[in-house]
């Protein structure tokens, strides 16, 4: 079995995460670049912690999200980094953000249950857009007449907003209520961070950095 020094291990792990086009988990590292090198889970975990400390005071940080580890820019630099991409900021309708928030906080949830909370019908285009972006998915069907689909968020959703788990979401009181302000519903976007794993080009557009071209929402109908 080949051996690798601590310095070489640190360099290899750093390089692997940097060149990857998506977050890389510790398990993936052991099954790929570290295969046959005799690196224990404990040693790899310590190495990842060391790398996180190394980047802590820099403009780029090593963070752990739901799918694994990735390098991304510090949140506070987004207003300036966004100038590298001259497109307009993404525009998400209030209806779409409210729907996404309800799925995130009350999952698994049916489309009908979302409509009951919001008081208006949910546009099929909203559900389609959220599904196509990989933020929500159908995980089953509720055992009631009609067996409506149950929706839940995905790891892609967590990765996009820089979260390791749903437990890191802000308090649901900030998003769900009878009067949700436009400012509140856009808090989700303010937490999105820039993924620089592919040499500075974000794999997902973030606030102030790219434009999401989505068809206009269908008119909402009052019940």
Domain limits of the chain?
6-83, 94-190
CATH architecture of residue range(s) 94-190: Orthogonal Bundle (1.10)
Per-residue pLDDT tens over the stretch 205-219: 333 333 333 444 444
Residue 111, pLDDT score: 93
Which segment of 3-17, 103-117, 129-143, 184-198 scores lowest on mean pLDDT? 184-198
Task: Find the mean pLDDT for residues 120-129.
Answer: 90
Q: Is the pLDDT of residue 114 over 90?
A: yes
* 137 DSSP β-pair partners: 152
CA angle in degrees (0–180, nearest 5) for 35-36-37: 95
Q: Is the pLDDT of residue 193 over 70?
A: no
State the average pLDDT for the chain. Answer: 80
Asked whether the domain spanning 94-190 has the same topology as the one spanning 6-83, the reply is: yes
Residue 46, pLDDT score: 96
Task: Please state the pTM of the whole predicted model.
Answer: 0.62
Residue 171, pLDDT score: 74
Q: Report the alpha-carbon distance of residue 148 to residue 159 in Å, rounded.
A: 27
The CA distances from residue 117 to 14, 132, 151, 223, in Å, are: 45, 23, 15, 11
Residue 200, pLDDT score: 39
Q: Which of residues 86 and 70 earns the better pLDDT score?
A: 70
Q: Report the candidate in 154, 99, 133 with the shortest Cα–Cα distance to residue 213.
A: 133
Q: Which two tokens stand for residue 71?
A: 């390098």
- Domain 6-83 sits in CATH at 1.10.10.10
pLDDT above 70: percentage of residues in the chain: 74
């Amino acid at each position: 079995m080949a051996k690798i020094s601590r310095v070489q291990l640190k360099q290899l792990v750093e390089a692997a995460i940097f060149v990857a086009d998506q977050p890389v988990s510790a398990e993936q590292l052991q099954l790929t670049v570290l295969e046959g090198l005799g690196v224990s889970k404990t040693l790899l975990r310590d190495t990842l912690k060391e790398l996180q400390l190394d980047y802590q005071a820099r403009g780029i940080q090593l963070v752990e999200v739901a799918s694994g580890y990735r390098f991304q820019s510090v949140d506070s630099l987004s207003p300036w980094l966004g100038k590298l991409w001259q497109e307009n900021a993404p525009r998400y309708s209030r209806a779409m953000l409210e729907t996404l928030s309800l799925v995130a906080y009350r999952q698994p949830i049916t489309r009908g249950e979302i409509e009951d909370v919001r008081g208006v019908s949910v546009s099929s285009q909203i559900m389609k857009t959220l599904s196509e972006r990989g933020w929500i998915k159908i995980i089953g069907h509720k055992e009631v007449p009609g067996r409506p689909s149950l929706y839940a968020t995905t790891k892609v959703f967590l990765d996009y907003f820089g979260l390791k788990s749903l437990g890191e979401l802000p308090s649901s009181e900030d998003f769900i209520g009878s009067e949700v302000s436009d400012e509140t519903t856009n808090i989700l976007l303010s937490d999105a961070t820039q993924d620089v794993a592919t040499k500075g080009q974000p794999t997902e557009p973030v606030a102030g950095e790219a434009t999401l071209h989505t068809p206009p929402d269908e008119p909402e109908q009052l019940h």
